[in-house]
Amino acid sequence: MANDSETSEQAAQIPKKNKMKIIILAVLALVVAVALSAVGTWFFLGRAPAEAQPVVESSVKQQAIYEVLTPAFVVNFKSEGKARYLQVSVALMGRNQADLNELKVHMPTLRNQLVMLFSSQSFEELNSVLGIELLKQKATAAVQELALIEVGKPVIEQVLFTNVVMQ
């Protein structure tokens, strides 16, 4: 009987050892699978082709540069019966100093376009915040159009009115 109890203990230990080996192999296989997955992800996503990788310079916006147009624009414009005047102080906002310097060469043409634009407005149109905002957008479009013709790119992002006086 002693032999029977020893044989049953040995029989019980064999499946425990086999179960332990299976568990260790499964855990090891899982660790290897996770490691391979991480390496594969790094390899395929971390090493994108040069044309697919974003350029760091283009994603970072350059600092704004302001060019104040002096003297302020003073124009008379249409109104019923009365002489009306408009004084506008203007600043151009751009991001590239070299482009702004190229645009400065054409400053007489730029000032002429803005004077013509400002003088073509009516007092009734400009007598509200919305009217001034629309004029600012028209001025931005006019300056960008001139820059496209003369420099080959828009150069400025916005025309800013730093002071507006109507009389």
Whether the pLDDT of residue 52 is over 90: the answer is no
Which candidate, 136, 128, 148, 152, places its Cα nearest to that of 91? 136
Share of the chain above pLDDT 70, in %: 81
What's the CA gap between 139 and 112, in Å, rounded?
12
Least confident residue range of 9-13, 74-78, 140-144: 9-13
Nearest residue to 119 (alpha-carbon basis) of 71, 79, 67? 79
Residue 75 CA to residue 126 CA, distance in Å, equals 13
Give the pair of three-digit tokens for residue 127: 């007598």
Count of structural domains, the chain? 2
Pair 102, 27 in one domain = no
Match 């600012």 to its residue by tokens.
136
CATH classification at residue 109: 3.30.479.30
Q: How far is CA 107 from CA 18, 31, 145, in A?
A: 88, 68, 14
b/e burial code for range 20-53 (CB count within 10 A of at least 16 → b): eeeeeeeeeeeeeeeeeeeeeeeeeeeeeeeeee
More confident residue, 4 or 30: 30
The reply to whether 101 and 66 lie within a common domain is: yes
Whether 4 shows a pLDDT value over 80: the answer reads: no
Q: Are residues 116 and 135 in the same domain?
A: yes
31 and 66 in a single domain? The answer is: no
**Whether pLDDT at 78 is above 90:** no
CB 66 within 8 A of CB 100: no
Residues 44 and 70 both lie in one domain: no
Q: Which domain holds residue 7?
A: 2-53
Residue 44 reports pLDDT greater than 80: no
Same domain, 42 and 110: no
- Give the pLDDT of residue 54: 52
Predicted TM-score of the model (pTM):
0.62
Q: Are residues 68 and 93 in the same domain?
A: yes
